[in-house]
Amino acid sequence: MNRRELTRLLGTGLLASAMTPRIGFAAEPPQVAITMDDFNLFGADEPTAEKRNQAILSALRAHSVKAAIFVCGTCIDSAPGKRLLKQWDDAGHIIANHTYSHPNYAHTDFRRYSADILRCEAIIKGYPQFRRFFRFPYLKEGNTAEQRDRMRSFLADHGYKNGAVTIDASDWYIDDRLRKRLSTDSKANTTGYRDYYLQHIADRSRYYNDLSGRVLGRSVRHTLLVHHNVLNELYLGDVLEQYKRQGWKLIDAERAYADPIFNEEPDVLPAGNSLVLALALQSGKTKLPRDPPEDGEYEAPNMDRLGL
């Protein structure tokens, strides 16, 4: 489905049925795990941050799924931040590395970037649920083969596995606009943001799942990229409900990362983005549809039109 069709469907109410995944290449329903980035508290005071954290954890608990939280060390490098992260650890969710300061590897010196990874590790490695998964901020894994392969060797030497994404999305952009609205009117009606978010996740999930079928002949155990933010404080539960309603099976992140696809290291440049997309590019079965594949610039026209 292209963006023009998405715009039309947003206005006609036909999107819910159109976004139901096609499962013709698999006898079982598609599977998806929740993986969440950053743990950015956006300067919230401790009671507000506690409320947000509990809402997200409650949504996961209500669906009996264990997620993976990819932590930027700077976001939780305080006593309150560490207490909030402990709540994830106590609940049995994977704690993983997302660097300390969220640099873009494509534009960062190798030594500084690798030191940033180890700085984060020093903060989170004491949590019992810490696992050696690493996710590149912005999903940027290097612009050259030398840059990409040097970091792959570093991560392997330190026992890390790439905490790759298969379903990429732009929840961060929807959240940014939601927070701006709430900053001007704390009692604003946010259902439009919820509806747009659900439609966006359905659209992106179908796209990457169909791509998996075309390239690999099967639906992989997907990892969805979302963020620890206000949008998911409010509506992560709705996302999980929608997946189930549209025929998806929610699974634990640990089970998703046991899929053999996560052992792949695509030979594409620039490196990164969705693992499914990278494998499709490597196979020659698709071309990069847009660069970057997901970004706020693609969502802005529709959100502008809807007054969000």
The pLDDT of residue 223 is: 99
Coil, strand or helix at 129? coil
* All domains of the chain in start order, with CATH: 34-305 (3.20.20.370)
DSSP single-letter state for residue 137: G
- Other Cβ atoms less than 10 A from the Cβ of 91: the count is 14
The reply to whether omega before 270 is within 30° of 0 (cis) is yes
Band (19; pLDDT cuts 50, 70, 90)? very low
Q: Averaged over 201-212, what is the pLDDT?
A: 98
The pLDDT of residue 21 is: 43
Q: Averaged over 263-289, what is the pLDDT?
A: 96
pLDDT at 4 over 70: no
Structure tokens given for 156: 């392997």
